[in-house]
Amino acid sequence: MDLVINKTSLNGMIDIPSDKSISHRSIMFGAIAHGTTTIKNFLRGDDCLSTLKAFQDLGVEIEDDGEVITVYGTGFSGLKQAKQAIDVGNSGTTIRLIMGILAGTSFSTELFGDHSIAKRPMNRVMLPINQMGAECTGHDGTEFPPITVKGTENLQPIQYQMPVASAQVKSAILFAALQAQGKSVIVEKEKTRDHTEDMIRQFGGEISVSEKEISITGPQKLVGQEVIVPGDISSAAFFLTAGLIVPDSQITLNNVGLNPTRTGIIDVIQQMGGTLTIQETGSEANKAGTLTVETSNLKGVEISGEIIPRLIDELPIIALLATQAEGTTIIRDAEELKVKETNRIDAVATELTKMGANIEPTDDGLIIHGKTPLYAAKVTSYGDHRIGMMLQIAALLVKDGTVELEKAEAISVSYPRFFEDLNNLY
């Protein structure tokens, strides 16, 4: 596909797509709760629709009238064995979190996905779930999908020190712990996004969090709720970056979720000297706000340590931002980028280098030397939605020639109307 969108400035207002993480979890919690859950502003991207379909396969009645999704919860015990293997598509969130839910069932379930999912490591979830008494096995004895989960109704609690900073792994264990007989304690390596903890409380569950230690006692019964999904800051990140680096730009983004475990990119923008204003609009339970950015002179920074889990999905677009900042930006402690939809460290370095960026991959991150002009090239998303969107934003800086993006269709995974929203800016 040719990237035909090439503007000299970007001005206007965008309603950012709904939060992907919360959309996934709203279906999951609605399914395992007792009673009815209604979900407004659900993200109808490919990944979240994979979660919706997975729970329909498990016997949960889910209606979608185009505005509101209604989930008729069965409780954990009401889930039924799927008639065939469950296809999670491209969604790592779906496969990893659902493993924790299936751990307490009385049946076996096979989970598989696309070629990208088939390469994603699952031991990080399989090992703790197996310690709790379920039996999770990978393809031909490996840790890779297809994964078979043989549940047990006698799930045991766990004391678990997380070896990686991963909200997906933590969430899978929490879903299993909700069904276990007794108190589980999870200690995080670094604090990661806490949507699962928040939604356990929202659905009437009990959970205790003290710094990096999480305690939860099962079994628990959850109750259906109304969920209003805020906009996704990970999707907003692409337009935040565009507004900062494309000349003569000012972009306002409405209803962006501002959960503190997700707002690392805002901290980085401010550290780099970006002009960003925030008008808070949400509630205490669902923090949200209107964000406005404008073209700024940026400076390089170091990004490492405990902030990394708060911006792990935004690092590809932050790398592009850094190519337009004066000085060097160093990203460290981001090994998790290697096991996303693709190896995002290598993908970012390879594709931006094609366009003229001065960027070096390292074992755990990137070193970006700015400020550099970008040039036309033939690039690929590798089938990774965030790489695809990052490269379209990069193409806006190209003055001569055409940037061609292969596998642009991957963007629909999280942002189906991305190109339409970009086109509507002037």
Return the sign of the alpha-carbon dihedral for residues 298, 302, 307, 310: positive
Among 324, 315, 320, 302, smallest CA distance to 370 is for 324
Question: How far are the Cα atoms of 3, 47, 103, 148, 339 from residue 87, in angstroms, in the given order?
Answer: 31, 11, 18, 12, 20
Pairing of strands 365-370, 358-362: antiparallel
Q: Is 313 among the residues known to form the active site?
A: yes
Residues, the chain = 426
The residues pairing with 37 across neighbouring beta strands, listed in sequence order, are: 71
- Active-site pick, 19, 47, 194, 313: 313
Query: How many whole angstroms separate alpha carbon 278 and alpha carbon 236?
Result: 13
Query: How many whole angstroms separate alpha carbon 412 and alpha carbon 395?
Result: 18
Q: How distant is the alpha carbon of residue 14 from its chain centre?
A: 20
How many other CB atoms are found less than 10 A from the CB of residue 162? 19
Alpha helices, H only, 157-263:
167-177, 195-202, 233-245
Angle at 389 between CA 385 and CA 392, to 5 degrees: 140
Among 216, 221, 229, 197, smallest CA distance to 33 is for 221
Among 64, 72, 33, 32, smallest CA distance to 48 is for 64
Residue 412 structure tokens = 């629909």
Residues tagged active-site: 313
